[in-house]
Chains A and B, each alone.
Chain A
Amino acid sequence: MEKTQSTYSRRSFLKSSALAGGGFMLSFTWLSGFKPADKLKELNLPEQLNQLTGYIQITADNVIKIMCPNPEFGQNVMTSLPMMIAEELDADWKNVVVEMAPHDNMKFGSQFTGGSQSVRSYWKPLRNAGASARQMLVEAAAATWGVSVGEITTKAGVLYHKSGKSARYGEMAAKASTLSVPKEVKLKSPKDFSIVRNSKKNVEGIKIVTGKPLFGIDYHHEGMLIAMAQHPPAFGMKLKSFDASEVQKMPGIKHVFSIQVFPEGFEKQMFDTRTFNELVIVVGNSTWEVMNARKKLKVEWEVTTDTKEMVNMRGNKNEQLVPGGLESTSSHLEKMQVRAKQPATVLRKDGDPETMFKNAAYVVERTYNAPFLAHNCMEPMNFFAHVTDEKAVLAGPLQAPALIEPTLTKRLNLPADKIEIQMTRMGGGFGRRAYGHYLVEAALISKQVKAPVKMIYTREDDMTYGIYRPMYTATYRAALDANKNLIAFHVKGGGIPEHPIAANRFPAGAVEHYLAEGWEIPSNITIGAFRAPRSNFNAAAEQSFLDELAEAMGKDPIEFRLELLKRAKENPVGKNNDYDPDRYAGVLKLARDKSGWGKPENGKYSRGIAAYFCHNSYAAHVVDIIRKDDEPYVEQVTSAIDCGIVVNPDAASNMVQGAVVDGIGNAFYGGLTHKNGLAEQNNFHTYRIIRHHEAPKRIDVHFVQNDIDPTGLGEPPFPPVFGAVANALYKNTGKRHYNMPFKSELLKS
């Protein structure tokens, strides 16, 4: 058994208290004591936010209530986090009730859902809390029965003594609440797990299938008004003037006014991205009335000029240029082509790649392009706000409440303890809901109209607002000697407005002479984190390139990767390689074996492989394409994942299958284009989302079995799907595909 301390740092503690009616509650708060500093950095969170709190309650009638600290958007943390507590508590899962914590920074910590971090960062602390509560129940039973602690065992919520005595947890809860919290507890060894690693159903399943109001958009408050915000029709435009006279006469309309999201010169924090600063607001009794009335707005917009904005990136103040004017995809592509030829920032260099390229017998060079992507969460952005002079109550879907709270404090002139944020279930997140501008908007509207308000984005508002996955390009080059051995590798990547390059990632470390460079072009089209940021492009480009390279070298694509990984393990180049070659190779081998790679019976498929490492986990997919209605169709996918211990296997498979479908959809159809600042897609008729008949018939998910502490799963399976699709597509069409979305390319060819 693993021993851990129940106190991790000076500011961390577990606290027990009695519940009315003879129950027991163990509350917990941690600060960063248990996390290595480098992992903290990866989270990109201000240190003071990196805490977690929650509680376990055991009532006299044996109900175990666990407060889940993290917001839920489909990654199933409301089930998997409590499972970790219940495991060490030896609870009977049938008697566990899970509740979502309201956001309260003092009590619940950062509650950040994103970066595939939830399970990973709570693994030790939540188990520790469960084990502590169990230990106190054991001590209570020992004292009651007059036996020694060591003679007591627990199973499924019952305490046993060899004399035959037994008691349910609830019977000992009152007594346990009078004991002190143990200084040290033992955690189970993975082989003794009985809840973790056993699939448990979604704790909100019944509510979902019966249509209970779980989501922010379902939030209702007596006397609540509905608000919509009209943003400029194009990027690079701003409000000049508006005439509300006609709108105000429409039935059900109460207020029409404009708001300024941030005052002039406002210093933004990292997640304060907002595309349009001035919005015209229509407030009324019902959604339909507001929606209709808004169409009658007469607004004059004007084209913006260059502006500068102060952004505080974790303490580093940065002045950012926001170019004025109307941008188009065609000019973006031209600019990128020109910029790609100019010098860029060197992000990593090993050996002497320039000379090696000069002396190479063969050089393979390919360029990959990908468009802006919209998150298109199924539930559009929305938030409820009720702001008075004394306090603000907000409720809705949000990934990172702690990141927006300081901004709300400033904008509303209220202290943090007067701002309450209630977390609802989210209808998808994918990174989009880490940007809380819509809370600020809702709060300002409520403040202005002095009433509770629910602000809703229509699908069109949501899709044309910005905060997209950036537009990317990357050129990969490989130098081969006369025997077609790989001697140097070069990647130069750029983006609007951010480059995608992760310089220390594979194949860095596996090639003697290596160069990674990046460049950026500013834009007024805003961007944000999108399911596995940067990786979602890199894995497409790099994994297609490696495939083509293997072919040029006359090698099997899996064998070629394994050779590189062998080199990275035995004789790594450079020091900062961010992946573990063994685990990387592990998923490739598992995907190879499970898919029957190279087996003649799979000859009917056009097969493609890709693998990637990001967010601390490893994923590989084999994608099998056939022709359906004379078009390439992904019929089946074999996935191999290494994310350490899999807490809730069936839910984990579901998430991987979802990531595969999402990846196929975005690879084939995803993309936003612009003409004079105007988004050319604004709803699902122009922005195509993968549908039932386009999804694969089978997605087999295999997890590498090991006892490594769990790492993320929401993002890692997503990026390599793109590469595997591209490689399978080549086998099917005989042509390499360099430009996403592939569907548009297929139509052109």
Chain B
Amino acid sequence: MAKYNLKINGKSRQVDADPNTPILWVLRDHLQMPGTKYGCGMGLCGACTVHLNGTAVRSCQLPVSSIGKQEITTIEGLSEKATHPVQKAWLEHDVAQCGYCQAGQIMSAAALLREKPNPTEEEIELGMSGNICRCGTYLRIKEAIKTAAKK
């Protein structure tokens, strides 16, 4: 076990964890922030996507010891009341079915739009292809991203 000082959603948080613990489980178990989801634990599904200094990363593959001073943003920190343009677009298109993958989808989409404010259809598909939605909401995700891009 070791102590870490993490910067999450603009706040500093202390955790005492095994250095190899992925950020996913630090968030979910140590900090009781379960918005970030577990889906595969192998970097294959994107359910655990968070931002590290603004870039989308799979938190199941990111040991707590590797974070250092980098800033983590989770779905809980994107906005408090669903005011982020991506969240708003998600509500407008009523994207979710079961909803389990959506935190990861939203975090990937937000990072994509920061990098490419006006993505093409292909750029959206490529940028989002790491995020599985078992309920098959892909069309609406794409539409929502296009809507968010306009804002």
Question: A residues touching B (Cβ–Cβ < 8 Å)?
Answer: 73-76, 199, 201-202, 204-206, 208-215, 217-218, 220, 226, 251, 286-289, 291-292, 376-380, 425-429, 456, 458-459, 650-651, 654-655, 657-662, 665, 683-685, 689-693, 695-699
Contacts and interface: CB of A to CB of B under 8 A. Distances in A.
B36 A211 contact: yes
Contact of B142 (A211, A685, A692): A692
B64 to A, nearest CB: 10
A429 to B, nearest CB: 8
B42 A459 contact: yes
A217 B30 contact: no
Contact of B94 (A202, A665, A695): A202
Contacts of A683: 40-42, 44
Given A218-B34, A660-B136, 18 more contacts: A74-B135, A76-B97, A204-B96, A208-B96, A210-B79, A210-B81, A211-B76, A377-B98, A459-B40, A650-B94, A654-B94, A659-B136, A684-B44, A684-B45, A690-B138, A691-B132, A692-B138, A693-B129
Interface in B68-100: 74-76, 78-82, 87, 90-91, 94-100
A211 B74 contact: yes
Contacts of A217: 34, 37-38
A433 to B, nearest CB: 11
B125 interface: yes
State the majority secondary structure of interface residues on B: loop
A378 B98 contact: yes
5 contacts: A220-B34, A288-B20, A459-B41, A655-B97, A662-B135
B32 A220 contact: yes
Interface residues of B, number: 64
A288 B138 contact: no
Contacts of B44: 683-685
Contacts of A698: 139
Most buried by A among B102, B124, B126, B133: B133
Contacts of A286: 17, 21, 25, 29-30
Question: 4 tightest A-B contacts by CB?
Answer: A211-B35, A661-B136, A427-B100, A74-B98
A226 B49 CA distance: 23
Contacts of A691: 129, 131-132, 138
Contacts of A211: 33-36, 74-76, 103
Contacts of B20: 288, 292
Nearest to B45: A684
Nearest to B44: A684
A612 to B, nearest CB: 18
Nearest to A208: B99
Contact of A208 (B17, B102, B129): B102
Contacts of B126: 693
